[in-house]
Amino acid sequence: MYADQFQIYSGNANPDLASKICLYLHTELGEAQVFKFANDNIFVRILENVREKDVFIVQPTCSPVNDAIMELLIMIDAFKRASAGRITAVVPYYAYGRSDKKDQPRVPITARLVADMISVAGADRILTMDLHQGQIQGFFNIPVDELTAVHILSNYFRHKHLEDLVVVTDLGFAKRARTFAELLDAPLAIIEKRRIGNLDRAELLNVIGEVRGKRAVIVDDEVDTAGTLVETVRALEREGVSEIYACATHGVLSRDAVHMIEDTSLLELVLTDTIPLPPEKRVPRITTLSIAPLIGEAIKRIHRGESVGALFSSEVEFTQEMLLWEDGVAKKLDTRLAPGHDDGPDDMVERGDPDREPDTDGGQDPDGGPRAGAGGEGPTDEPSGPNGDRPESWLRELREREVAER
């Protein structure tokens, strides 16, 4: 049986999210090096004892996808060989989700292959969010906990107080979109579409439902090239919709997706931070909500042996709790803020800011490994700083300012 302590680690895919999760849990990011040699081989070294510990590895398999997957597999193997008690792969975004079936002759089921590799590497459990298809859970021979951002996203739009609202989605996301619509007390309209071969676009065939004169919120699991989103916006314009918003859990935003979105009448695209948004894609029309509290709560429940499903037995209350955390804590502390920085932190509800300065070192130590803080023995008094740095004086000063403001 693993020890009472749990420790959270991160690869290079989304260290900011890992730091926010640690902030929510009042613990520090575990110390590990994850980097590439000159020959592109990935090297992982855990810098502290993890024997019999409950280990959580935060690593969405986002771009560069294959690097992220290999980092995850090698990290799992490293922890397994270091005698970790239990290893949970926290994969907020699961790549290759569309390759979930043989819909053409002589094609692979890559989503199953990735699941097999994660299991063989030595993971004991998977924690993920809004898989492209629910059957992907069945590809694993280990327990899978799938969270959803539907409640976080719907809560955001509920607080916008939009009248005459209609929720628009396609058949693939209809079940969760119905939950989204019920939370907003709005009707649901369906976009009938047909994907064209292996191209990253779809042909829209029909809009099923009454949308004329209403405000529409398009809901999906991810926005990739934005081709389908743009076509949906145009179809809704032809149907006489007055205002159009959109939201999705995963903001892949590949190729010219951001420019395509800006060329439409879409008023706002709301995403979560399962995938990091680079500075050039942070535009005013894109809003990012953090799922760190939701994942953090799930990690806490998994560690304690409590029900993860119970998170959704009182969805509204828990979402309100998370929003209070964002407004009260994360507004004061942006995990991208470097120690000693004089500017004020941003809110965890991040809006696009093309003028914002990115991290100059990419969140890495001079030796090539990602920065990371010391491992925690469960909850501690002080959360980790940016990318896992020890909080030190800059966090104490932040707390002193909070007290002074009161």
> What is the Cα 50 distance to its own chain's centre?
26
Closest CA to 281 of 351, 348, 360: 351
Measured CA distances, 176 to 115, 171, 254, 342 (Å): 23, 10, 24, 42
Strand ranges, E, within 104-187: 125-129, 144-147, 165-170
- Say how many CA atoms lie within 13 Å of 254 toward its Cβ: 13
Do 301 and 310 touch, CB atoms closer than 8 A? yes
Distances (CA, A) of 312 to 146, 151, 152, 188, 297: 12, 9, 11, 21, 12
Please report, as a single letter, which amino acid is at residue 212: R
The one catalytic residue among 20, 102, 175, 193: 193
Q: Is 36 known to be catalytic? A: no
Q: How far apart are CA 51 and CA 382, in angstroms?
A: 24
**How far is the C-alpha of 172 from the C-alpha of 145, rounded, in Å?**
20
399 in helix, strand or coil? helix
Provide the phi-psi class of 54: left if phi over 0, else alpha when psi is between -120 and 50, else beta: beta
Beta strand pairing call for 188-195 and 202-208: antiparallel
Residue from 14, 66, 86, 73 nearest 44 by CA: 73
Residue 267 CB contacts under 8 Å (≥ 6 apart), including other chains: 243, 244, 245, 285
Run of H or E residues at 193? strand 188-195
Q: How far apart are alpha carbons 103 and 108 in whole angstroms?
A: 10
What is the signed CA dihedral for 398, 30, 58, 180, rounded to 10 degrees? -40
Instruction: Please give the Cα distance from 233 to 286 (Å, whole number).
Output: 15
Distance (Å, whole) CA 262 – CA 352: 12
Round to whole Å and give the CA distance between 343 and 328.
18
Residues annotated catalytic, as ranges: 193
